[in-house]
């Protein structure tokens, strides 16, 4: 098994899994059952999506085409052009 995607977001892990399965690549999400034990485990990188060794090149292309990690690093930054808080 090859690690193809690692995240802390269950939705993204299953999005990747379903995209890979739609392309005919078997994919497995590891770490789902560990999410409830947050006090004992690290908070990030618990969820891993893995594929068989032979499917790694094709799976990597599919995951990169999803563009999941292309968002802004700080979605609530002060440097955006929003007007700020408006009166109610």
Give the CATH number for residue 15: 3.30.70.1530
Per-residue pLDDT tens, the chain, 88 aa: give them: 999 999 888 899 999 999 999 999 999 999 887 766 556 555 666 789 999 999 999 999 999 999 887 666 655 555 656 656 666 6
Is the pTM here over 0.85, yes or no?
A: no
In a domain, 16, yes or no: yes
Q: Which long-range contacts (CB under 8 A, 24 or more apart) does 31-36 make?
A: 35/10
In a domain, 72, yes or no: no
In a domain, 82, yes or no: no
Do residues 60 and 23 lie in contact, with contact meaning Cβ atoms separated by under 8 Å? Answer: no
In a domain, 11, yes or no: yes
Cα 53 to chain center, whole Å? Answer: 20
What's the number of domains the chain is made of?
A: 1
Domain that holds residue 26: 2-35+45-66
Give every strand in the sheet of 2-7, ordered side by side.
2-7, 47-51, 28-30
In a domain, 79, yes or no: no
Do residues 4 and 69 lie in contact, with contact meaning Cβ atoms separated by under 8 Å? Answer: no
């Amino acid at each position: 098994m090859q690690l193809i995607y690692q995240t802390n977001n269950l939705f993204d892990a299953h999005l990747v899994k379903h995209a890979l399965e739609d392309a005919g690549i078997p994919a497995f999400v590891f770490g789902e059952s560990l999410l409830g034990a947050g006090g004992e485990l690290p908070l990030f990188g618990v969820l891993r999506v893995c594929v068989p060794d032979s499917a790694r090149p094709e799976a990597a292309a599919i995951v990169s085409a999803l563009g999941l990690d292309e968002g802004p690093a700080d979605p609530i930054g002060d440097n955006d052009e929003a007007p700020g808080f408006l009166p109610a």
